[in-house]
A and B are shown apart, each in its own frame.
Chain A
Amino acid sequence: MTHTLVHELLQRSAARSPDATAVVDGDRSLTYAELDARANRVAHALRDLGLVGGDRIGLYLDKSLEAVIGLYGVLKAGGAYVPLDPGAPPSRLGYIAGDCGIRILLSARAKAGAWSELVGGGAALETIVTLDGESPDGAPDGVRLVPASALDAQPDEAPEATVGQDDLAYILYTSGSTGNPKGVMLSHRNALTFVDWAAELVSVGPEDRLSSHAPFHFDLSTFDLFAASHGGAAVVLVPQRTSLFPLELGAFIDDQRISVWYSVPSILTALALHGGLEQRPLPRLRVVIFAGEVFPAKHLRRIMELLPQARFLNFYGPTETNVCTYYEVPPLSEEATAIPIGRAIDGIEVVALAEDGTVVEAGEVGELYVRGPSVMRGYWGDAERTARAMADPFAASGPAVPTYRTGDLVRQDEEGEYWFLGRRDSQIKSRGYRIELGEIEVALQSHPAVVDCAAIAIPDEEISNRIAAYAVCRDGDPTTGHDLIRHCAGRLPRYMVPGAVEVVDELPKTSTGKVDRKLLLDSALQT
């Protein structure tokens, strides 16, 4: 069945099976009828607060039933939700909220202490709705607080739809090379191109229980939430603390009867090595999907041995296109050292181009371009960057197709599968997070003592890359590497903070005067 708006998935499941479990959060859960009704109340409240189609609404709360209700409420109201990483420094979130003009924030009591910092960081907030209870005292100046109890009077029925499939559904912010995060704008059509395909590939049905491991500001979450709604399945929110302890995670997957798991590979590696699966075989787990970074073959082989009944799927795609290729992993031979990213999903075209814009032959290295209805609408408020990323190299030879230039270097093998080889710029992955080294350098540069700096990625088998940085400080300045790490920790999400910062007298330069990153990496690898 095809859909035109993301929240129709929820509405249809609520009509078809109102009493089926929709979301599980620890001891609490919601049926489809409850989730739909409570999201409708949020939607009506947002309309009463003046939301008009396309308005961006911030979601600033830990993953919870309330967060899911809020997210669907925004969609039903005709807005675009903007998930703010609850663990990121509020100053960075304030920048994001200011950048995309968030006026209304859906939040929770536990986050009240950071509201003022959001405003201080650039957020022009007018209203904060506390989804989990009474609003705490101490609103930022000029901001109206709305408690959860105010939602009770709203109707349970869906408000009239005011948006279409090319309107924005959500904006996900990713690391930006110029120092500020950039907002990837995704429409209902973008989301459903992926969700409809994925739900069918995995045959998500009412018996399924999907994990929700990735945070909502990470695009893996769109599968967890929307494929579950698509199939009338339950989505089980994985507590962050459970993910840290592999033995507990194995027990959680078993106790919660998870049947479809989706996460970055590093969490599956931890589960394979330390999850105790030899004693606890997880027979209900029928599909394991991973994305976000390269899965080291030896760890993938191990988890496949431990879960012999499960299908294993490698999903690939940047936030700008969501998943655009996939590969179903066959039993891996002892010799296999890597797996491909596979081939295009339904309705999407992928093609590798040489630098001169010609299509490369199978076996040759090219840059991957993605074309089709899952490609983003653009970067929020940045027409220039959008034009650069979305220039269609085939514009002269046919009708315009939304196109995204990934920056990923690939090679196609004789069977038609694509293999990921690396990046053509300084974007890296660490634990599945996408990081621009330039954003880290801008954070370091903002320290008054720093006159020059460079961040580098050190390859690491478990987490893809570790981050190290080198800084030159003013003559005689006593600033230490630890000081600079703490400076970064106040400005960047934890996964972007360098593990080590070394203060040096000067940075090695190439003959053209650029920082010699290769030399820095070589010396880092030797120590």
Chain B
Amino acid sequence: MTDKDTIRRFIVDELKWTGGGDELADDTSLIDSGVIDSLGIVQTIGFLETTFGIKVRDDELLPRNFETVNSIAAFVESKRAS
């Protein structure tokens, strides 16, 4: 399973993506669709830290790192590289 698959599965299973019948695309805004809300962001950080063994710093808590499945995957990749 790729990172994106893992992230997608987390969003569907744990953040309860319903999407009003729409598919969860890799470039769907998770913020505008409400799936990443104030509780969702906390869950997402916990998921990234346990699943990928990374540590999310306060200054990385930015929309560009959490906007879409693509941006979360890119963020994980950049953390691994550093």
Which residues of A454-472 have CB atoms within 8 Å of chain B's CB atoms?
A: 462-463
> CB of A243 within 8 A of chain B?
yes
Question: CA of A476 to CA of B62 in the docked complex: distance in angstroms?
Answer: 46
User: Which B residue sits closest to A88, measured CB to CB?
Assistant: B34
Asked if A267 and B32 sit within 8 Å, CB to CB, the answer is: no
| In the complex, chain A residues whose CB is within 8 Å of the CB of B18 | 486, 489-490
Chain A: minimal CB distance from B47 (Å): 13
Chain A: minimal CB distance from B73 (Å): 19
Question: CA of A494 to CA of B38 in the docked complex: distance in angstroms?
Answer: 11
> CB of A276 within 8 A of chain B?
yes
Asked if A482 and B13 sit within 8 Å, CB to CB, the answer is: yes
Which residues of A275-292 have CB atoms within 8 Å of chain B's CB atoms?
A: 276
| In the complex, chain A residues whose CB is within 8 Å of the CB of B16 | 485-486, 489, 494, 497
> CB of A248 within 8 A of chain B?
yes
| In the complex, chain A residues whose CB is within 8 Å of the CB of B31 | 240-241, 244
Which residues of A493-513 have CB atoms within 8 Å of chain B's CB atoms?
A: 494-495, 497
Question: CA of A282 to CA of B11 in the docked complex: distance in angstroms?
Answer: 35
Asked if B41 and A248 sit within 8 Å, CB to CB, the answer is: no
Question: CA of A361 to CA of B40 in the docked complex: distance in angstroms?
Answer: 44
Interface bits B5-21 vs A (CB < 8 Å: 1, else 0): 00000000100101010
Q: Which of A113, A241, A244 has the most CB of B within 10 A?
A: A244
Asked if B38 and A276 sit within 8 Å, CB to CB, the answer is: no
Interface bits A202-241 vs B (CB < 8 Å: 1, else 0): 0000000000000000000000000000000000000011
Interface of A is mostly: helix
Chain B: minimal CB distance from A158 (Å): 36
Question: CA of A246 to CA of B61 in the docked complex: distance in angstroms?
Answer: 8
Chain B: minimal CB distance from A124 (Å): 23
Question: CA of A240 to CA of B30 in the docked complex: distance in angstroms?
Answer: 12
Chain A: minimal CB distance from B34 (Å): 5
Chain A: minimal CB distance from B44 (Å): 10
> CB of B81 within 8 A of chain A?
no
Chain A: minimal CB distance from B1 (Å): 18
> CB of B63 within 8 A of chain A?
yes
- Chain A contributes a number of interface residues (CB within 8 A of B) equal to 26
> CB of B36 within 8 A of chain A?
yes
Question: CA of A247 to CA of B62 in the docked complex: distance in angstroms?
Answer: 8
Asked if B62 and A266 sit within 8 Å, CB to CB, the answer is: no
Question: CA of A494 to CA of B39 in the docked complex: distance in angstroms?
Answer: 9
User: Which A residue sits closest to B57, measured CB to CB?
Assistant: A274
Question: CA of A244 to CA of B59 in the docked complex: distance in angstroms?
Answer: 13
> CB of B27 within 8 A of chain A?
no
Which residues of B25-72 have CB atoms within 8 Å of chain A's CB atoms?
A: 31-32, 34, 36-39, 41-42, 58-59, 61-63, 66
Question: CA of A243 to CA of B36 in the docked complex: distance in angstroms?
Answer: 11
Asked if A247 and B39 sit within 8 Å, CB to CB, the answer is: no
Asked if A495 and B39 sit within 8 Å, CB to CB, the answer is: yes
Asked if B58 and A463 sit within 8 Å, CB to CB, the answer is: no
Chain A: minimal CB distance from B26 (Å): 19
Asked if B32 and A241 sit within 8 Å, CB to CB, the answer is: yes
Chain A: minimal CB distance from B80 (Å): 22
> CB of A138 within 8 A of chain B?
no
| In the complex, chain B residues whose CB is within 8 Å of the CB of A494 | 16, 34, 37, 39
Q: Which of B20, B36, B58 contacts A247 (CB 8 A)?
A: B58
Asked if B34 and A87 sit within 8 Å, CB to CB, the answer is: yes
User: Which A residue sits closest to B18, measured CB to CB?
Assistant: A489
Question: CA of A248 to CA of B41 in the docked complex: distance in angstroms?
Answer: 14
| In the complex, chain A residues whose CB is within 8 Å of the CB of B58 | 246-247, 274, 276
Q: Which of A241, A276, A431, A497 has the most CB of B within 10 A?
A: A241
> CB of A245 within 8 A of chain B?
yes
Chain B: minimal CB distance from A255 (Å): 15
Interface bits A249-281 vs B (CB < 8 Å: 1, else 0): 000000000000000001100100010100000
Chain A: minimal CB distance from B27 (Å): 16
Interface bits A412-445 vs B (CB < 8 Å: 1, else 0): 0000000000000000000100000000000000
Asked if A244 and B62 sit within 8 Å, CB to CB, the answer is: no
Question: CA of A246 to CA of B38 in the docked complex: distance in angstroms?
Answer: 10
Asked if A247 and B61 sit within 8 Å, CB to CB, the answer is: yes
User: Which B residue sits closest to A432, measured CB to CB?
Assistant: B38
**18 contacts across the A-B interface (CB closer than 8 A):** A87-B37, A113-B20, A241-B32, A241-B63, A244-B41, A245-B41, A246-B58, A247-B59, A266-B38, A274-B61, A431-B39, A462-B42, A486-B18, A489-B16, A489-B18, A494-B37, A494-B39, A495-B39
9 further contact pairs, Cβ within 8 A, besides A87-B34, A241-B63, A494-B39: A113-B20, A245-B63, A246-B61, A247-B59, A247-B61, A270-B38, A276-B59, A431-B38, A490-B18
Closest 4 CB pairs of A and B: A274-B58, A489-B16, A241-B31, A87-B34
